[in-house]
Chains A and B, each alone.
Chain A
Amino acid sequence: MTNATIFIVDDDPAVLDALSMMVEQEGYSVKTFACAEAFLSAYQQEVLGCAVLDVRMPQINGLTLQKMMADKGILLPIIFLTGHGDIPMSVDAIKAGAYDFLTKPVTREKLLASIRPAIIESDKKLSQYASIQEAKDLIESLTDREKEVMLLAVNGFPNKEIARRLSISHRTVEIHKSKIMHKTGAINLLDLASIAREGGAFD
């Protein structure tokens, strides 16, 4: 997956320079940032890849940046680099969803052994995100009445009951259902239920 981009954030220019060359040699594209703010303002659209963050940085440190990324809903997996093998700090980082925690100096082997699966993780997250987005779009294409019918249908109510609850005719329910199946492309009720859940119809 050499179309992946590796984002490196480290306040030490030499470390930034050396690591970026190392990652470039593997054929990845690299973007380097000297501080958290520069990274956040540059990262506007989700891309395939991962973030390599230094823990100890002035102003916004690596752990704070991790939290800010989570708040913004950024999907990039995070690999931390730290000068000290600080165990409590690494536990906190991993608990907060960090992909890995490496100590400096880091060998090429260890860094790549961490980057490669992180990119696969990124790919998985992106496709999940895409299918959710798709389901959301499908649900959005339904009219309000169709959404009502869909919710009752996937909750297992028979057409007769749906008709009674919505005070419409049995026939109208059938027409709505057919339109719902057509618009969402669901092949059966079970399929429809999963689209409804992914698209956040139950939220």
Chain B
Amino acid sequence: MTEDLTKLLNNLSFSTLFNSIADATLLVDERGQIVLANESAEQLLGFSVDELKGLGVEALIPNMYREHHVYLRHDFLKNPAKRSMGKGRNLVVLTKNGSELPVDISLSPINSNEEKFVLVTFHTINRLLEVESSLKSSEERLRLAKASAGLGVFDIDLELDVAQCDTLVCKLFGFQRNIRITYQCFVDAIDVIYQPKWHAMFEKATASSNDGDYQIEFRVNNQQNQTKHWLYVAGRVFFSKDQAVRMVGVVQDSTKQKQLQQKLNEQRIELETLFKTQIAIQTASAIAHEINQPLAAISAYSEVALFALKSEQPDFERLNRSLLGCVAQAHRAGKSLHELMEFLQKGKVELEPIDLNEVVLEALDITQHNGYGGFKSLLDLEPNLPKVLANHTQLQKVLVNLLRNGVEAAQNIGVPIAEIQVLVRTHAELNMAEVIIQDNGPGLTNEVKERIFEPFFTTKEHGVGMGLAISRSLIEACGGQLWFDINHRDGAAVHLTLPFAKNETISNL
């Protein structure tokens, strides 16, 4: 050692040395009180040096270990030696703001005169590296899991409006990798028909009153490879102070599933139509037989009567018998019809209070997914609508029937996108709810307007012509009405009213 160096070392005070230690370091006396802390300790623990001085070390120990620590500290002082604390256990230190930091701690006893001190040093770097590497391996596991499940993941920062997307999400949505991906990029990729559905989902998921969970299925028009995919997305929106700040989602390509489902649906509809046609034929045939027999008798009796009257010597016996026969047969026909109608209408339908808005949404969803191709729906529901009195299944079928008619009408004249507007309104003065369904099809001609509710009347190539006739009788059975707006100009507008359930009057709002 040179003389200069020895001189320098003698002049170096303990506190200068102490403060220059890179690791957070505390000097603790034998009562467990902090007597000195360096700047690094200040940064790590969040307390100022002055705050730390005089603080008991137990203040830095998580609550549940404090008592035990006092015992350990006394044990250490009985046999002080330089060693690391905890021996490989996952130690944590409590910071001022209450968070727990993973650290390694080494203890060095210092003896000065009669007083014993312990130098406590916190090492954080190794622990950070460890945490980082375990994060890396778990990320790798996640990547493998995602790849094998065909899942893509995105994470949108709603405040900065920037999204992190993995390769699959970029591929599915058609995002270019090197550009900034914003929330609007997602919306723009979605087929215009499904954008309202996305907006509705987003509105619901980002409402602070909800838990932020969401799931949705929609079609995207991929701008990169000009293909259309069905995507299923599920995820969650995160909030900070009631403000949606982050939207995370898992994406799956559901195109094949969708196509299979669509095919099944088409087959089911085909079968249903066939079935309905058969029912119509069978019913008509039953009615025909019941009516034709008396008609055959009446026809023959009448001719017998005419003949009896016209002959040179009127045959009053046969005239009387045949006319009595005519009367009896006419009555028989009437009775048969009556019985048949009673039979067909038996099994009274249960009416129940129903959320009309909900059934409208269900019906839209069914129509959208039943192989009738996409259409754009403009919804105008009335929030807090009292419940209406109807049969759920029947009402759903009626609405689906009306929506399909609208979509088909529009598609048949080749409009680019069938557009259906659904309005739900309250008619306070009638104590009724009203649904109005408008399409952008060709509308109704005068002849069609007059005959539209006639059984077996249809303008469709493969229709039975019973849909509207049945729909109207179902709505009327609930005490409501179904009609077409005859003054409506663009497309067709069908109106449907239903009475509110008795104890659900408007004053209950």
- Seen from chain A, the residues whose Cβ lies within 8 Å of a Cβ on chain B are 12, 14-15, 17-19, 21-22, 25, 56, 81, 83-84, 104-108
**A89 shortest CB reach to chain B, Å:** 13
A105 contacts B321, C-beta separation under 8 Å: no
Q: Please tell me if the beta carbons of A105 and B285 are within 8 angstroms of each other in the complex.
A: no
**Count of chain B residues with a beta carbon within 8 Å of a chain A beta carbon:** 26
Cα of A104 to Cα of B294 in the assembled complex, Å: 10
Contact indicator B292/A108 (Cβ below 8 Å): no
Give CA–CA (A81, B294) in the complex, Å: 14
Look across to chain A and name the residue whose beta carbon is closest to the beta carbon of B291. A83
With known contacts A15-B297, A18-B297, A104-B296, A25–B307 Cβ distance under 8 A: yes
CB–CB A107/B294 < 8 A: no
> Is A14 a contact partner of B297 (Cβ separation < 8 A)?
yes
| B292:A104 contact, CB within 8 angstroms | yes
The verdict on A22 contacting B303 (CB below 8 Å), with A84-B288, A104-B296, A105-B296 known, is yes
Return chain B residues, CB-CB under 8 Å to A83: 288-289, 292-293, 296
Residues of chain A contacted by B288 (CB below 8 angstroms):
83-84
Contact with A along B252-279 (1 / 0, CB 8 A): 0000000000000000000000000000
For residue B304, CB closer than 8 A to chain A, the reply is yes
Say whether A106 contacts B321, CB under 8 Å: no
CA–CA, A137 to B332, complex, Å?
A: 55
Residues of B participating in the A interface, judged by any CB pair closer than 8 Å: 285, 288-289, 292-301, 303-304, 307-308, 311, 315, 318, 321-322, 325, 328-329, 332
CB distance A107 to B329 under 8 Å? no
Contact B292 A105 (CB under 8 A): yes
Give the contacting residue for A25; candidates B292, B293, B308; CB below 8 A.
B308
Residue of B nearest to A81 (CB): B296
The closest CB in chain A to the CB of B292 belongs to A83
A104-B307 contact, Cβ under 8 Å, with A14-B329, A17-B325, A83-B288: no
Complex Cα–Cα for A105 and B315 (A): 23
Q: Do B307 and A105 touch (CB < 8 A)?
A: no
5 shortest interchain CB distances as A-B pairs:
A18-B300, A105-B299, A104-B296, A14-B297, A105-B296
> Which B residues are in CB contact (< 8 Å) with A18?
296-301, 304, 322, 325
Chain A residues, CB < 8 A from B289: 56, 83
Interface pair A22/B297, CB less than 8 Å apart: no
B298 and A105 contact, CB distance less than 8 A: yes
Q: List residues of chain B with CB within 8 A of the CB of A106.
A: 296, 299-300
In angstroms, Cα B40 to Cα A86, docked, is 103
Q: Which one of B285, B303, B315, B328 lies within 8 Å of A14 (CB-CB)?
A: B328
State whether A108 and B293 are in contact (beta carbons under 8 Å apart), knowing that A18-B325, A21-B318, A84-B288 are contacts in the complex: no
Excluding A22-B303, A106-B296, 18 further A-B contacts by CB distance (< 8 Å) are A12-B296, A14-B332, A15-B293, A15-B300, A17-B297, A17-B321, A18-B296, A18-B301, A21-B304, A21-B322, A22-B304, A25-B304, A25-B307, A81-B296, A84-B288, A105-B295, A105-B296, A105-B300
Contacts of A105 in B (CB 8 A): 292, 295-296, 298-300
A25 and B307 CA atoms in complex are apart in Å by 8
A21-B318, A25-B308, A84-B288 given; A107·B296 CB < 8 A: no
Which residues of A lie under 8 Å from residue B299 when comparing CB positions?
A: 18, 105-107
21 contacts between A and B (CB under 8 A): A12-B293, A15-B300, A17-B297, A17-B325, A18-B298, A18-B300, A18-B325, A19-B300, A21-B322, A25-B307, A83-B289, A83-B292, A83-B296, A84-B288, A104-B292, A104-B295, A106-B296, A106-B299, A107-B299, A108-B303, A108-B307
